[in-house]
Structure 1
Amino acid sequence: MCRSIKTLRPPFSEDVTEIDIQAAALQYVRKISGFRKPAAHNAEAFDRAVAVVAEATAELLSAIEVRGSAKSTG
């Protein structure tokens, strides 16, 4: 839980995969919820949060423009 979430934009990471985005979203939700693996009664909300964060992350990465590099079409 004490690891930093990996930066997923250029120049830190050129080839970001869906797996990278999913892993970052999972780590974020784990950190803010305090659950490594939620109890069964919280699993649906936890999984939904991971999906929403992953979607928002992908949207952000496809929209941001980093100075000095070409805009990614990820």
Structure 2
Amino acid sequence: MCRSIKTLRPPATPVVTDEDVRAAALQYVRKISGFRAPAAHNRAVFDEAVDAVAAATRELLGGLQVRGSGQSRSNAPQN
């Protein structure tokens, strides 16, 4: 599922931007909802879901500890 979503944790992606996180969240919501672009009456809930998934992704990346990389909580998205 969601094969186009790339790994965002180190060492696979040394620097993660907000754009990276948003793109992954968008791909996830598109896959789950079955809509590439929602109808106008679904736009608000679609966008809220993307925001929620992006926030959860930032929280996850901020809390991960990658053994052997010397990195911990340092791969939080960069603005």
TM-score range, shorter chain: over 0.9
Q: Identify which of structures 1 and 2 has the higher relative contact order when contacts are C-alpha pairs closer than 8 Å and 6+ apart.
A: 2
TM-score normalised according to structure 1 size = 0.93
> What code does the residue aligned with 1:59 have?
E
Considering fraction of residues, name the structure with more strand.
Answer: 2
**Count of paired positions:** 74
CA-based RMSD of the aligned residues comes to: 1.6
- Amino-acid identity (%): 66
State the partner residue of 1:28: 28
The aligned runs of 1:1-74 (5 Å cut-off) are: 3-69=3-69, 70-71=71-72, 72=74, 74=76
Moved over 4 A (4+): none
TM-score normalised according to structure 2 size = 0.87
Gaps of 5+ in 1: none
